[in-house]
Amino acid sequence: MNADMFRDVYGHAPTVRVFCPGHLNLMGEHIAEHGFGTIAMATDTGTEILAAPNDRAEIRLVNTDEDYRSHIVGNPRQ
């Protein structure tokens, strides 16, 4: 989700952005299981989370992939 899509969904800009890059093991996990080294590298794809506080007692989750539906979760702090 980019900032423009966040604004379209929630009506305001995000205040927090977190990005966790994906990674590849060029030699594979099976090599590491046998005690050998692997060559790990980050990719430009990954998981991105944009967030902002709201005035509701809920957490709303939206995925950019339309195969996954949105969720509303009650805020346990309220």
pLDDT tens readout for residues 39-62: 888 898 999 999 999 888 888 899
pTM score over 0.85: no
Range of the domain at 53: 3-74
What's residue 34's pLDDT? 78
Number of domains comprising the chain = 1
Question: Token pair of 33, please?
Answer: 């299981």
Cα(57)–Cα(78) distance, rounded to whole angstroms? 6
- The number of beta carbons lying within 10 Å of the beta carbon of residue 50 is 20
Residues 6+ apart with CB under 8 A from 60: 10, 54, 70, 71, 72, 73
Cα(7)–Cα(61) distance, rounded to whole angstroms? 14
Cα(40)–Cα(45) distance, rounded to whole angstroms? 15
What's residue 78's pLDDT? 61
Which of 75 and 40 is assigned the larger pLDDT? 40
